[in-house]
Structure 1
Amino acid sequence: MVDQSQWKLNHTMLRIKDPKRSLEFYKLLGLSEVNKLEFPDNKFDLYFLAYDGPKSASTGNHWTDREGVIELTHNYGTESDDSFTVNNGNKDPGKGFGHICVSVDNIQAACKRIEDAGYKFQKKLTDGRMKSIAFALDPDGYWVEIISQKKVEDTKDITTTETSSYRMNHTMIRVKDVEKSMKFYQEVMGMQHVRTVEQKEAGFNLYFLGYGVDTSKDDQSTAVNPRAADEGLLELTWNYGTEKEEGQVYHNGNDQPQGFGHICVSVDDLQEACKFIESKNVNWKKKLTDGRMKNVAFVLDPDNYWIEVIQNERIKKSSDW
């Protein structure tokens, strides 16, 4: 019997060119390396980054017992390959994945700190109509949304920022048919629908889902986004009319050109969770019994995005990660 209340949206995987440059950027954002897996025979390494400070949401937890982890995948040699570039998910022919998002204490100070360190922005706070969000660019051109945990006007005169209070708030992917996607993520993956943002004039809606979210804490008076203090949310972006288009509309990040790889859910009992998911008549990229790695599975969502399923090692010891 599975207990989906214990499931977590554990991590988001991004392929990177140069781990040194990427780690410098994400550590500037306050993330710590909580695990590293090396696969020299297969010529790649995995870096797992999370907020692990005194004010973080899951300080000291095993990396599988967290939400909002970022997995950086480095294939050996790309750092010295001038022809190697990453698909950031925001331009054709690779449009699909949109961004990851970090929520911060004092957004003006946080953005200034990023800019002072020499990093570029896709959108600064002062750009466009929306003055409460920014998009920084990591070394591979991935978009990192910056949102505020407080009212923006309340922090405009504050010049300091404390990264230990930051959260890896959400991961955004674009979906073709929001009804099918919402049904999948709620009925198969057991997520709660916690927030909808309608942008009718712009022709799109945003749907936020997560695990174990206390919706009683929603308070529009304390933040631009009442879910800004959460970690491990999934944002589905639906552009009106895409559900009427033929075939696959969005790129899953794993076909060429590659970039974003997958999101990952850690579960209470890996074997039972996969049996439950199987009972929902889903499509698999990799079942537990496939290949050499018997401790991970990959299920496909309605847009063929990959969702890795792993064991939460705090609940049930199964691997020496």
Structure 2
Amino acid sequence: MATDPSKYKLNHSMLRVKDPKRSLAFYEFLGMKLIHKLPNPDAKFDLYFLAYDSPSALSHGNVWTDREGIVELTHNYGTEDDPNYTIANGNTEPHRGFGHLCISVDNIQAACQRLEEQGYKFQKKLSDGRMRHIAFVLDPDGYWVEVIGQKSLENTEGVKETDVATYRMNHTMIRVKDAEASLKFYKDVMGMQIKRTSENPKNEFNLYFLGYGAPAKENAPDGVAPTADQEGILELTWNYGTEKDANFKYHNGNAEPQGFGHICISVDDLDAACARFEEHKVDWKKRLTDGRMKNIAFVLDPDGYWIEVVQNEKLKTRANW
């Protein structure tokens, strides 16, 4: 059985959370819906899968493995009652790696005002710094959630309303040491396409946006990302020179202190996809045949970030999730 990478989806991004009630309240306030839950009382952890699911959402009503733009929250029992338990958000030294999630919204000023009125803190407000078209709100664990607009600022100036049903879970950002190696991996092995590139030589960093499905819009308005209407985008951030430092390494979120866990790709045929990855001589964290869980595998990217691989259950039934 062959596998077709064009049918793959960037299904979800996993974050560990301290208190699921607080985290669920935050992401539901952003308009997401709990579409699936996997309780694991024997192992003392639960998994919560949230996604945009309004009638206008890109994958409304789909089985959870047949979607892009899901946020998986992992809760290990007891952390909510542990005053010393904290999450590594990926943005503080020496544990930088994962950067942020990003949602795109209809009216960015109104969306940020709504978050501020609810009492959520910001890492960067729209009015901070020179970049007036993006903001970063903090979730209850201190993870950064970027907010970008689906329309130009001029078209939303003075608009007071925002409709969460129009929001998208747009992208997940991770920092990479060697852009060339990472781009080759995500294109050749994971089958993604580069949708857009943002080069910033003055500030010595580049951003690469990759994913599956349709290409970016060709005629996006000024100040609007060409991929703002999409979900399931992976943003790779490369800071110039890191590839030349033999000792440089990013934190993958799974070594202590923990935080971000993995991204997940859903595939057309899990066995065939894993056989293809084997042909590409990937580094495995977990093969399908390892351990008791025979329905998931984990591949390691060039920086040691974990990539979960699961079956798209719409295309082929495999697991009783």
2:168 maps to what in 1?
A: 167
**What is the Cα deviation at residue 248 of structure 1?**
4.8
RMSD: 0.8
* Partner in structure 2 of residue 92 of structure 1: 93
Q: Match for residue 12 of structure 2?
A: 11
CA distance in 2, matches of 1:49, 1:260: 16
Which amino acid in the other structure matches residue 320 of structure 1? Answer: N
**Alignment-derived partner of residue 220 in structure 1:** 220
Q: Which residue of 2 aligns with 1:191?
A: 192
Distance, in Å, in 2 between the alignment partners of 1:3 and 1:222 is 35
Partners of 1:255 and 1:192 in 2: how far apart? Answer: 29
The Cα shift of 1:199 comes to 1.2
Q: How do 1:90-239 residues align onto structure 2 when only pairs under 5 Å count? A: 90-215=91-216, 217-221=217-221, 224-239=224-239
How far does residue 126 in structure 1 lie from its aligned partner after superposition?
Answer: 0.1
Give 1:219 shift: 1.4
The residue number in structure 1 matching 2:307 is 307
* Number of residue equivalences: 320
Whole-Å separation in 1 of the counterparts to 2:82 and 2:312: 36
Deviations, residues 178-232 of structure 1 (Å, cap 9, x unaligned) = 00000000000000011000111111000000001234x3213265211100000
Q: Which residue of 2 aligns with 1:62?
A: 63
Amino acid of the structure 1 residue aligned with 2:167:
Y
Checking the alignment, whether the CA contact within 8 Å between 2:133 and 2:223 is kept in structure 1 is no
Aligned partners of 1:162, 1:181: CA distance in 2, in Å? 36
Q: Distance in 2 between matches of 1:148 and 1:9?
A: 21
Aligned AA (2:83): D
Q: Secondary structure at the match of 1:274?
A: helix
- Structure 1 contact 78–84 (Cα < 8 Å) conserved: yes
Q: Do the aligned partners of 2:242 and 2:248 also contact (CA within 8 Å) in 1?
A: no
Q: How does 1:280-295 map to 2 (within 5 A)?
A: 280-295=280-295
Contact residue 205 and residue 239 of structure 1 kept, 8 A: yes
CA distance in 2, matches of 1:153, 1:81: 46
Partner SS state of residue 64, structure 1 = helix
CA distance in 2, matches of 1:176, 1:223: 28
Residue of structure 2 in register with 1:254 after alignment = 254
* Structure 2: gaps of 5 or more residues: none
Amino acid at match of 2:289: T
Paired amino acid for 1:6: K
Report the TM-score, using the length of structure 1 for normalisation: 0.98
Residues 248, 303 of structure 1: 8 Å contact kept: no
8 Å CA contact retained: 1:14, 1:73: yes
| Whole-angstrom CA distance in 2 between matches of 1:94 and 1:260 | 11
- SS of the counterpart of 1:276? helix
Moved over 6 A (4+): none
Asked if the contact 1:149/1:223 (under 8 Å) is kept, the reply is no
- Three-state SS of the structure 1 residue aligned to 2:266 is strand
Q: Does the C-alpha gap of structure 1 residues 49 and 286 become closer, same or farther in structure 2, counting only changes over 3 Å?
A: same
Residue 49 (str. 1) matches residue 47 (str. 2): no
SS at match of 1:256: coil
- Tell whether the 8 Å contact from 1:197 to 1:206 is kept in structure 2 after alignment: yes
Q: Which 5+ residue runs of structure 1 have no aligned equivalent? A: none
Whichever residue aligns with residue 85 of structure 2, its letter is F
Retained in 2: the 8 A contact 1:101–1:171? yes
Residue 54 of structure 1 aligns to a residue in which SS?
coil
